[in-house]
Chains A and B, each alone.
Chain A
């Protein structure tokens, strides 16, 4: 069988904003459509029929059951471009890239767009379980008295809408609370977390100032830069923040070293390598391989967000590589402590040491924000550009932790 390579041609995202900010009125579909349209414009694809568009959202309304297809129909792409919704919590964006790449490598499609969108501003708000049951009973009741009876069990408190929570279903703990346990277990200090957060802001600010994002971001609704980015933040400012996750002595996770709820969308254009070259498109980087792993976090044996420490060794072994073989390492900053604990985990399980000078060199989620399903597209597009600049054969590693104890990882290689 002939070898087909899937290459990243380019990417596009909206600037990311803090939830409740400038995108408060935009839906996930609006955001995803905007990201696709920006990509279409960048590569002159108006009216083009692509192999497939795969994307998703973590916080998803029921009305968005066909989010990606609807976004394609609202975009400048040909209406004949098919689409697919994918979901793997915060791994959604990267998993979508892997899905499209695999289809390309199997020869099922030649081109595709992959990514995701999320808006914590427009998160689905639902009714209480008691009210939902009452409504179901009332709906099936045959007469008025039965219908009224159905509502007898409903108490005023049940009428209050339920906002979405990013709590783990099985532990009842929020992401932050879960990470706080891991942070303590792995002995990650407050200072180390704040330093990582500071580096994220400084790196992202430098990337913006140098024009790195000029061909990676298209402004949306008047927002031209990531709004969470604080280019003037300092260790002193970060040190003054009160811990928000974890309890008592030793609580170290603050709003400064944890990602904020954010809104945004990111997509990448992936193509079969020869197709890309035939179109005159840049082949920035190949998607070489990927690995997903899951931790046993429910029993407390492993950390919820420590999946990377499981996935990376498996991925490296299959590709006969070590951490030292990479020019860039992108570990999604769900929390500064997640990155630091994952690095410690990789050291502890004998995988190796992460060279910090290669880590998230153009900033990551702490500074950029983390619209859940958009993070994969953001990282893949940025890394592909960095690898292309570095030159053929350069290598990049991505690790994105996700709810449910999972982590999605991938290797990319500069073309």
Chain B
């Protein structure tokens, strides 16, 4: 960690915190994390819905019916003001099945079910909206309504308090409850703690994308090999630990110079370590050779997480070709090269026929960031790659997705001067920085054998950061 400034030291004392609280810098809510269901769950099935109930049934979650803010159900508070009907016990999560909504008039139903929940959710509560993707609706109004629901989602995310989140899943045509289950499971658990105000698309799984008979929802990667680059520290180490917790055999990759901490991570998670500069042309072959050598000649990679990344920040006015090229090579070009090699199904130790590729984008790629033209280029490039490669692999049961982390508490962000850091970490709907595990959990959801319906998506893990939202 970077040395602390005097201001930061004072800020972190008892009196310092008291003054800060008076000045409006309250302590952010503590987020519930991990594999815990944020319950109890209530379900609002709006007109024409149905898949929401099927998904909850698939997950074995029983849900009460959500309350609706209808005039006749309102009560008066002590001051005589009209209040929406209130829940007898605070719900943890509200699932709103809005997949049947096509008209502007029907949006009123969303207001009805959301209003009673806004102030009654448990700490770290969840609002999960399901809507039909614009590609699966007809008519101008229906298209407008689909997008309108995202406006509601993003605003709800901003209005919720106590670490609660709101997210929207657009459901494509032909999607089954089984296709949607891993995503709703992720959203209803502590795993999605720092994902809020986001929307993405889920569709039907491709042919050949199957979870298999031995699939265990609580240990989804059992018997599967997951390669994580840049795993010696920070977010990469957290990704390795999260996959290992969920049963994966982790191949931890990092540059030779980081070998000591890499070995520690690999041994901690019971995986194996590969010291490798991913920018060499044969990096993909080296990874495959390691997998075949250490984990058996028949072993194949289930998922690769392209987490390795560097920054070489300079304002463009001072940017030389070296900083420019290094960042683009490590963060983007290496990933393209490795994918190409590993996707060859005849390569021993390469990606399995049915597998997952996950990249790391960044809010800097979404919105741009001063001093980071090279980095923003590489990270926006990762997004472009995800969109293009998922389409290129349309006929193979391989999904390609990325996460875009916002402000995450790492050694890297710890080096940002205190005041800027405090501003960055607070300028999101959850009022705090995310933890490396939040990024890891999101990646693990994308890599889940049951997440075959999620491809070509870039999901922000940013607590609904103001930047680029």
Contacts and interface: CB of A to CB of B under 8 A. Distances in A.
Residue with the highest number of chain B CB atoms closer than 10 Å, among A37, A47, A221, A222: A37
Nearest to B272: A44
B334 interface: no
Contacts of A215: 274-275
A148 interface: no
B267 interface: yes
A249 to B, nearest CB: 47
Interface stretch (B124-132, B254-262, B430-438): B254-262
A41 B257 contact: no
B293 A41 contact: no
A99 interface: no
A220 to B, nearest CB: 6
Nearest to A14: B260
A343 interface: no
Contact of A41 (B262, B276, B295, B296): B262
B266 A41 contact: yes
Nearest to A221: B260
Contacts of B269: 46
A43 B267 CA distance: 10
A40 interface: yes
B331 to A, nearest CB: 21
Which of B272, B275, B277, B297 is most buried by chain A, counting CB atoms within 10 A of its CB?
Answer: B275
Nearest to B265: A41
A47 B249 CA distance: 13
Contacts of B280: 211
A42 B272 contact: yes
A308 interface: no
Interface string A215-231: 10111111010000000
Per DSSP, chain A at the interface is: loop
Given A280-B292, A281-B294, A282-B293, A217 B267 contact: no
Contacts of A313: none
A219 B257 contact: yes
B272 A41 contact: yes
Contacts of A40: 263, 267
B124 to A, nearest CB: 33
A411 interface: no
A181 B267 CA distance: 49
A11 B294 CA distance: 13
Interface in A264-302: 279-282
Nearest to A282: B293
Interface of A: 34, 37-38, 40-44, 46-47, 76, 211, 213-215, 217-222, 224, 279-282
18 contacts: A34-B260, A38-B259, A40-B267, A41-B273, A42-B272, A42-B294, A44-B271, A76-B267, A214-B275, A215-B275, A217-B256, A218-B259, A218-B262, A218-B273, A219-B257, A221-B260, A280-B292, A280-B295
Given A76-B268, A280-B297, 10 more contacts: A38-B260, A41-B262, A41-B263, A41-B266, A42-B272, A44-B249, A76-B267, A213-B256, A218-B262, A280-B294
